[in-house]
Structure 1
């Protein structure tokens, strides 16, 4: 299993939305579609993440991981 860098939450309202970043540059997103469909998991490529969500991820990213996450996300 790849080593995890960090998990960043961009939760809005009551729906969870978390992105976990790994050393091999894989990104796992775990989110809630609605109150009846929670903890849906998908694996993403950086190009599949909207600019708005990338902005939120960088804003909420722990400072010690920010540079690495920006490289993975190809941000800006």
Structure 2
């Protein structure tokens, strides 16, 4: 499974990273709180809200943007 890129949209002290793969898979690694960190879940594009998609596209490296937008079905 080939990785396209990882985008961090972390807030305050809690991590929140999305990794996009060539097979259109989206892996999210995040911290619920200081005691529950590096929780991993696999997401489909329709499970990510528009506000989060906006943040991901803003934080996306230019060379990956087109592919990530396709995976997220954005806009």
TM over 0.5: yes
Shift of 1:68: 0.5
Q: Which residue is equivalent to 1:19?
A: 18
Moved over 2 A (4+): none
Unaligned runs of 5+ in 2: none
Deviation by residue 1:39-60 (Cα, 9 ceiling, x = unmatched): 0000000000010100000000
Q: Secondary structure at the match of 1:30?
A: strand
CA RMSD of superposed structures (Å) = 0.3
Q: Which residue is equivalent to 1:50?
A: 49
Q: Which residue is equivalent to 2:72?
A: 73
What's the TM-score, normalizing by structure 2?
A: 0.99
What is the count of residue pairs matched by the alignment?
75
